[in-house]
């Protein structure tokens, strides 16, 4: 490919190394000769050369990194406070509510199930699941184990009298 301006795209112009080497050569050669460029100027000392080198190789390159770290810190501080969801499955409703409140979360019973091995009043399922990170005051949806309805219970043989059984805290009369 033809380049009409090769002097502008010379990669040596983009490196800091040749500049620093040229700077050091002029400082060292002027000091060795005992002359300065202007009669009223002081000679550059070894201290000033070291300060310029520190500025060029340590301070200036570290500025973008410091800005990135500060921006990351500001972003992190603006994020909402979060907590890890505890495992509530298998606990009774009261204990599950206390454990969730200790982690700055709330609970809400969203469903009930009777086809489980857990005794009534215990948590069978939770959402979000345990171990997930959520914001403070997030509501954890729970599914609660209950006793099966009397409709599903087997009928008694030879008894035509209504049977009184408990179903979720209310009395239900069932005909056999």
Domains of the chain: 11-78 (no CATH), 82-151 (3.30.10.20)
At residue 104, the pLDDT reads 92
Which residues share a beta bridge with 122?
Answer: 92
* pLDDT of 5: 54
Helix H, strand E, coil C: the string for the chain is: CCCCCCCCCCHHHHCCHHHHHHHHHHHHHHHHHCCCCCCCCCCCCHHHHHHHHHHHHHHHHHHHHHHHHHHHHHHHHHCCCEEECCCCCCCEHHHHHHHHHHCCCEEEEEEEECCCCCCCCEEEEEECCCCCEEECCCEEEEEEECCCCHHHCCCCCCCCCCEEEEECCEEEEECC
Tens-digit pLDDT string for the chain (176 aa): 455 555 555 555 556 667 777 777 776 665 556 555 565 666 668 888 888 888 888 888 888 888 999 988 888 888 888 899 999 999 999 999 999 999 999 999 999 888 888 888 899 999 999 999 999 999 999 999 988 877 765 565 555 555 555 445 444 444 44
pLDDT of residue 97: 93
CB 60 within 8 A of CB 89: no
Task: Please give the model's pTM, rounded to 2 decimal places.
Answer: 0.47
- Please report the pLDDT score of residue 57 as a whole number: 86
What pLDDT score does 176 carry? 40
Q: What pLDDT does 162 receive?
A: 52
Distance spanning both ends of the chain, measured CA to CA = 97
């Amino acid at each position: 490919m033809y380049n009409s301006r090769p002097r502008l795209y010379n990669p040596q112009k983009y490196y800091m190394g040749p500049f620093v080497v040229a700077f050091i050569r002029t400082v060292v050669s002027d000091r060795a000769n005992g002359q300065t460029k202007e009669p009223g100027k002081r000679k550059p000392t070894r201290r000033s050369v070291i300060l310029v080198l520190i500025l060029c190789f340590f301070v200036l390159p570290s500025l973008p990194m410091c800005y990135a770290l500060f921006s990351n810190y500001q972003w992190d501080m603006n994020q909402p406070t979060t907590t890890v969801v505890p495992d509530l499955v298998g606990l009774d409703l009261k204990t599950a509510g206390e454990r969730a409140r200790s982690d700055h979360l709330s609970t809400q019973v969203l469903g009930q199930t009777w086809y489980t091995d857990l005794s009534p009043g215990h948590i069978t399922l939770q959402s979000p699941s345990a171990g997930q990170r959520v914001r403070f005051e997030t509501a954890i949806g729970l599914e609660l184990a209950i006793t099966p309805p009397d409709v599903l219970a087997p009928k008694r043989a030879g008894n035509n009298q209504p049977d009184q059984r408990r179903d979720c805290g209310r009395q239900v009369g069932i005909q056999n």
